[in-house]
Every structure is written in C-alpha cells, then in structure tokens.
Structure 1
C-alpha cells in the first residue's frame, strides 16, 4: 500500500505498493484483499460526517441534511408509524435507534450463526445501534458481530469498549486494533471505557498516559468517531468521571424501574449527562438477568417500556435468541413512551422490592464484574470466589 494523502489525521492508502510494517497488519491485509473499495467509501463518508459534526458544533445548529447520511439514517422507513424510532445521539447531529443490540448476549449461543442472524435481522428491522466490548467472551462477541456486519457496515452505528482497567494508553491502542480486526472495520462509531466500577477507576483512567489519552488519540487518528464511558456500580463514580470535564460524547449506565429507588442513576447521573448534552445510553432494563420478570414482579413490556421512556438516546438490550429479538421489536416498533404518571405509578408499585437492591446486584456485589477488571484490581476470577 502507498500513502497518497493526509486528511484530518488519517492516512489514505492506495493499492499497488507494499504497506510499511505496523501493528494490526493482519486487519489491513484483510481489508486490502477483500473490502478495499467498500471501506474506502466508508472512510470517506466517515470523514465527511466528522467534518459536518465539527462545523455543526461550532455553529450550534444541526443541518437537517446531516440526519440523512451515514448509519444514523438507516431505515428511511423511520417515518412509518410502525418503524423503530430514531433519537438524537447527544449533540453530535447523528441519530440512533431507540433500542440497541447488546454485545455480550450475542456471544452466548453455542452456534455463532444465531448471533449473526440476530444482528442482521435487527438491522433489517431498523435497529442500527450495536454494542460490544473487547473482552466479551474473550473476543468472540466482536468476531461474530464482525461477520454479521461484513457486507452491511454502513447500516450500523457500531460501538465497542476498551478494557484497560487501569492499564495505560499503549494497552488501550492495542485493544483498539484487536477490536477493529475482529469487527472487520477500519473505524468505530463509538469507543467507550468499560466498567468504571472500582473506587480508583476515575483516577486510573485520567492519569498521565492513561486510557482517556487513548480516546483522544483514537479520535485524532480517525479510528473513532465518538467516545464515552460505561459503568453499573455507583452514581458517584460516574459523577467523578464527569467532574474532570473531558468532552465525552456518551455515558452508559443502568436505567430501569428499580433504579429509581436504589442508588439511582436516573435521579443523579442522567440529569447531569443531559445538562452536558452528552448522549445517555441505558442498559440493564431487565436488571441484567431478567429475574424480576421471571418472578412476576414486572412484565417484559413494563420493564422495557419504562427504560425506553426515559430521556435516553438508546436502551441497549441483551438478545441471545431470535425470540427475544422479536419480543423487543414488538415493543419498539412505533414506540410511544409511558406518561410521567404511568412511570411514577410503576416505580411506586415496585419500590418495596427495589429499595434494598435485590434486583440490582450489579450495584452492591461483584457478581457482574468481568474477569479482565478483576485481574487488574487483584480479585479472583468469577467462579473462584468463596462464600
């Protein structure tokens, strides 16, 4: 490959000459031999949108034409009464589907074809937001999603997470190359710091040569459009991250009907994210394990409708079967939010069972912490803890 130009910090290569050796060469070779023309088109569209977003931010307005380009506009049928609603992704000018596909559950079925089909049918139905993380099922979730998106990358708003858990910028950038290779793409729409759940995480992430510097570098290199962070433990940790004043584009947090009565992200973090005009991303709408549904405390429709009725850009939902996908589509198509009165009544109904956190164990225990983070913070892997 031969470099022929430089645009907004991104190398532009052309076939016919040998590319200099570099980390991530395997991904580059794959792109060169299999998807050169398509990825060149994707890169141009990405750079165009990035430029538009920068101009828009400086003017404080959003051209309506921007909503008609890129993955944010997929499914022009969004005007149909039965379409999946599209919502603004913070102040970026991009729109995303009101419901998204969770990456962890994509890697759960033994047959990867199930995950591929879920992703592709979700895209066909108008869901464009795709969640993932570098460490989900040791990379398997990213690999499955990469196969599913190989010939339809432009239809997806693709997000994955970096799992440094206190390690430095160099580890983060290596993980980014791993994710790009597995996902079979040359850029991410959103790259987020995964699992801000340990008390010293904000300090570690913002230290010199920490992961936050990697977010900035990845954006500068054109490998990432937007950046953010995630966590499910305590609102204080999210607020500590925000106090640093870094220009995150998105913040992901657990938002469900039980959250309103126990260490509430809805009451404490969501308003601050909205004030800063960042994109709020909701997760764990069914409490992470659907236990309250299994026990008859709430129905799937009540739980998911409540989460989607909050002022969020997208509610990310785990889908490990086509049946769950169809169930979610039935709720999301032509979605009409609950009224404030309906939401308040549902919160009040479940409050006696919500106040002690029994349906949000991700806040009060280490049951949901991943092994990558456990290792970096000196805790034993899942399955080896006593008691």
Structure 2
C-alpha cells in the first residue's frame, strides 16, 4: 500500500481512503456487512476512513465506531460537521456554538476520544471564518482533534481562511476535500493550485462520478436517481 503525508501534519495515510457515506439507512442498512467492508479495507492496508455526522443522520459514524473497536490506534479517522442534524435553527453550520457541541456527538457515536481530521463540510456564509477557525483551533488544543480541514470550498475562501489564520494566530485548514474525477476537473483551475500554494492535502469525493465511471449506467437502461453511489 502506498502512503502519503496528510497536508503537512506528519500523519501518514494510505493513498486510498474508505468513504462511508452509504453506510446506514441511506445506502446499506446492514451494519454487519458494513463492518466487514471496513475490516476488509483495513486488512488490505487502508488506514484512512472518512465519514460525516450527517451520513444517515449519524448512523454511519456509529457503524464506523463499531468497526474500529480494538483497532482505533491503527486508523486515521476523519469526519465532518456543517449540515443540519435534527430540528432547530442552530443545529448546523460552522459556528462555534454548533462545532463544540457536535464534535462531542461525533466522538460519542465513533466511540473514540479523538478525531484525526475534523472537516468543515461546506462553507457557511452566515459565520465569520475567524469564529470557525478559532473553535477548531481550540479543539486541537484540547486534544479532541488532531488536525482540521475543509470540504468543497472555492479557492478564494481557502485563501481567505489562510489569511485570517495567519493574521489571528489560529490553526489553518490542512486539507480540502473537493469533488474530482476525469469527468469533473474544475478544481484544476484554481482549487488545486491554491492547495499546492498552502501545502494542503487533497482528498477527493466522487472520484468515480457517482458510479458513472464504473459502467453502472448503460445506454438505454433505466436510471435510479436515488442511487448516487
């Protein structure tokens, strides 16, 4: 297995990362089967697992936590925060209020004391980036998070985050997770050069274009619009 350093953090991760968006009620409700998939990936040398609080409303994190019992020290665990979790106007976003609350819920579901990579799932234009970075920096200082990153941020907002981090003495985004495949190469224009400029690691989502590149869809065949993976 090929391993690479994650965005200047010193953390070594496998070139392949196991995504778990479809673990749980949205994709595969069979927890035992999902656990077997995770174990097979770990046995093959993959040490990087990515999930999010909103995947199947927390169920994916719970499954990942079950699978990593007894193997947590060998795994680089990534999850995310941003999308709404339940009812209420403050149960989502990138505010300090939500981040410090939701990280505790993710830790509980994952059955762990720390998260290796905590990612902001999307930009939040109602919250100052300084507030978001300050909250994430405090989580690192508290030992609950090892490093933090962003996902699907445009280049200009990545630049802004680094300028603010340097000006205010805060931690900075170490990774960006954009959509990227041979069919969707828009990030090559600005996002990838920006990540290179700041030494950020790049994790990609939907590298197989939601299954299109696997041969899943056939000419003239029916398309299930609810099945994106």
Query: Would you say the 8 A contact 1:202–1:240 is kept in 2?
Result: no
- Tell me the equivalent position of 2:202: 280
Cα distance change on mapping 1:267 and 1:296 into 2, 3 Å: farther
Would you say 1:102 and 2:32 are equivalent positions?
A: no
- Tell me the equivalent position of 1:138: 57
Would you say 1:250 and 2:180 are equivalent positions?
A: no
Deviation at 1:96, TM superposition (A): 0.6
Deviations, residues 146-186 of structure 1 (Å, cap 9, x unaligned): 00001100111000001265352121111100000110100
Structure 1 or 2: more helix by fraction: 1
Task: Supply the distance in 2 between the matched residues of 1:214 and 1:284 (Cα, whole angstroms).
Answer: 29
TM-score by length of 1: 0.49
Task: Supply the distance in 2 between the matched residues of 1:205 and 1:139 (Cα, whole angstroms).
Answer: 26
Query: Would you say the 8 A contact 2:148–2:173 is kept in 1?
Result: yes
Give the alignment of 1:43-192 within 5 angstroms.
84-107=1-24, 108-163=27-82, 165-166=92-93, 168-192=95-119
Cα distance change on mapping 1:130 and 1:99 into 2, 3 Å: same
SS, match of residue 104 in structure 1 = coil
Task: Supply the distance in 1 between the matched residues of 2:136 and 2:125 (Cα, whole angstroms).
Answer: 14
Cα distance change on mapping 1:286 and 1:132 into 2, 3 Å: same
Task: Supply the distance in 1 between the matched residues of 2:202 and 2:175 (Cα, whole angstroms).
Answer: 6
Task: Supply the distance in 1 between the matched residues of 2:198 and 2:208 (Cα, whole angstroms).
Answer: 27
Question: Unpaired runs of 5+ in structure 2?
Answer: 84-91, 166-171, 220-227
Deviation at 1:102, TM superposition (A): 0.6
Deviations, residues 276-319 of structure 1 (Å, cap 9, x unaligned): 111111111111x213433469xxxxxxxxxxxxxxxxxxxxxx
Query: Would you say the 8 A contact 1:259–1:266 is kept in 2?
Result: no
Task: Supply the distance in 2 between the matched residues of 1:226 and 1:171 (Cα, whole angstroms).
Answer: 18
SS, match of residue 203 in structure 2 = strand
Residues matched between the structures, number: 203
TM-score by length of 2: 0.81
Query: Would you say the 8 A contact 1:274–1:280 is kept in 2?
Result: no
